[in-house]
Amino acid sequence: MCRPSCCDNSGGQGTGMAAVALILIGTLIVAKIGLIVARIVHVVLEVLRIAALTAGAVLALAVLTWLAVITVRWCLCHRVTWRHPIVQPAGATVRQNMATGDQPACLACGGTGTVLRAISDGSYQPWACPVCEPAERAG
């Protein structure tokens, strides 16, 4: 039987088979390379995450250090208002107040008028209290 020239399909099958083969080969290559690319992207994202966490920790430490410096500076500038003035009364007045009990005993000597002074050989020597006897200490 004779076929018309428009129905001749013998040459089109080879081109279609080649196209299908190229698509299958391309899919296989993408599947193999895709896993490698996915691993590379995963590693890059992990490195970025670690870098971001490290940068955040360094920034937080810098801010805390800055706040500590500011706080210490403020405390040093305003420490005068926190102190209570120390009043050193005259020796006779202290002894009279200790005798009457109006004020608590001297914190340095406990009301005895004598403190212990350390000597270089490791022993101690009685000494006049500098708080109770400021005149003797000056003279």
pLDDT in tens, 109-135: 777 778 877 777 777 778 788 777 654
pLDDT class for 61, splitting at 50, 70, 90? very high
Instruction: Please give the residue that has the higher pLDDT: either 6 or 115.
Output: 115
Percent of the chain exceeding pLDDT 90 equals 24
Distances 30 to 23, 35, 64, 95, 120 between C-alpha atoms, Å: 10, 9, 50, 100, 87
DSSP 124: E
Tokens of 98: 């200790």
> How long, in residues, is the chain?
139
d(CA 53, CA 32): 33
Residues 6+ away with beta carbon under 8 Å from 136: 91, 128
Predicted pLDDT of residue 1:
53
Distance between terminal CA atoms of the chain?
146
pTM: 0.38
| 48 has a pLDDT exceeding 70 | yes
pLDDT (mean) for 35-62: 95
- The answer to whether the CB of 136 falls within 8 A of the CB of 128 is yes
Mean pLDDT value across residues 52-63 = 97
